[in-house]
């Protein structure tokens, strides 16, 4: 029996997303921030599957039986899901040819993460982006950060651990919106960073007057994602400022996201803006207090990322 929040709800979320996006798209842009956020309306419409995945993140009632029906009707997505579950990552003895069997083997969490990755990357890949932007690199960096964040959250006391994958996947959404809605300012920010001497955040504040993390959080609010995910994304670069309430011995999701992002960039999985990887990625993970489990986390990350990488 599935938990109550996974069962079917009225299709209120697609309407909500459509209404909010329409408001953004119709608003007259008066600033760089407005133009960038308006670009959210330029994204391709959500597929029925992506709508239900986003709804599940917002704890709307979602039926995964219905989701299985939708996957089966999407030939490309269904093929990719079966290809993934039959990959060396899972080391199965036989061949899985049924989506429902794949769901049973992967589990709800892994299935949702895989489908979010495939659906979102397919949506982003349809966009016309400015020169210097690499959608492939952006997708790989996003999914790598998502995978590592999720693996860390499984082993640590972190607020809203169930949102770790989505936080990682969407943490740089604002950067994509800036590239789409304010391409000249995006290029100016890149130039300033390449000149050296300033951090990406300092370059954004100087050119844009706001950070892409702030914009990412605002976009996720439009999509009605849970507030803990919004907060983690907003404070990803400055987790010490995150006001999220924590239990004793609990760390913030923003701090976990920051460390995952640092490590992913340190091993060269970066996108067009942040080209020079930091040198303390492993140190950032160690500072979380994962301890002896860190070796296992990194090994699992490498395996999962290698399995999903061919889809990009």
Give pLDDT, residue 51: 85
Give pLDDT, residue 285: 95
Instruction: For 126-170, write each residue's pLDDT tens digit.
Output: 888 888 888 889 999 999 999 999 999 999 999 999 999 999 999
Instruction: For 51-68, write each residue's pLDDT tens digit.
Output: 888 887 776 666 777 778
Arithmetic mean of pLDDT over the chain: 83
Domains of the chain: 4-311 (1.10.3210.10)
Instruction: For 72-91, write each residue's pLDDT tens digit.
Output: 888 888 888 888 888 877 76
Confidence of residue 4 (pLDDT cuts 50, 70, 90): very low
DSSP secondary structure of 78-120? HHHHHHHHTSTTT--SS----HHHHHHHHHHHHHHHHHHHHHH
SS (H, E, C) 254-291: HHHHHHHHHHHHHCCCCCCCCCCCCCCHHHHHHCCCCH
Give pLDDT, residue 276: 53
Give pLDDT, residue 157: 94
pTM: 0.85
Give pLDDT, residue 270: 85
């Amino acid at each position: 029996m599935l938990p109550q929040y996974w069962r079917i709800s009225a299709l209120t979320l697609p309407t909500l997303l459509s209404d909010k996006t329409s408001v953004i798209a119709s608003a007259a842009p008066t600033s760089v921030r407005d133009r960038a956020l308006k670009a959210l309306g330029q994204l391709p419409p959500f597929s029925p599957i992506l709508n239900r995945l986003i709804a599940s993140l917002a704890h709307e009632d979602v039926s995964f039986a219905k989701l299985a029906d939708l996957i089966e009707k999407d030939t490309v997505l269904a093929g990719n899901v079966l290809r993934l579950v039959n990959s060396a990552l899972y080391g199965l003895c036989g061949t899985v040819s049924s989506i429902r069997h794949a769901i049973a083997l992967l589990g709800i969490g892994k299935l949702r993460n895989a489908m979010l990755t495939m659906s979102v990357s397919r949506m982003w890949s349809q966009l016309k982006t400015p020169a210097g932007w690499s959608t492939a690199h952006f997708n790989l960096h996003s999914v790598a950060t998502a995978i590592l964040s999720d693996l860390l959250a499984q082993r640590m006391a972190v607020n809203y651990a169930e949102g770790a994958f989505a936080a990682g996947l969407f943490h740089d959404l604002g950067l994509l919106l800036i590239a789409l809605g304010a391409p000249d300012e995006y290029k100016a920010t890149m130039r300033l960073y390449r000149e050296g001497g300033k951090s990406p955040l300092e370059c954004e504040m100087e050119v844009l007057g706001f950070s892409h993390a702030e914009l990412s959080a605002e976009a996720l609010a439009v999509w009605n994602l849970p507030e803990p995910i919004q907060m983690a994304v907003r404070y990803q670069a400055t987790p010490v400022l995150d006001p999220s309430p924590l239990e004793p011995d609990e760390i913030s999701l923003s701090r976990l996201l920051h460390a995952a992002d640092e490590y992913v960039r340190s091993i060269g999985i970066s996108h067009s803006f942040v080209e020079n990887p930091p040198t303390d990625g492993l140190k950032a993970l160690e500072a979380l207090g994962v301890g002896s489990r860190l070796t296992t986390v990194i090994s699992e990350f490498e395996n999962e990322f290698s399995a999903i990488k061919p889809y990009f």
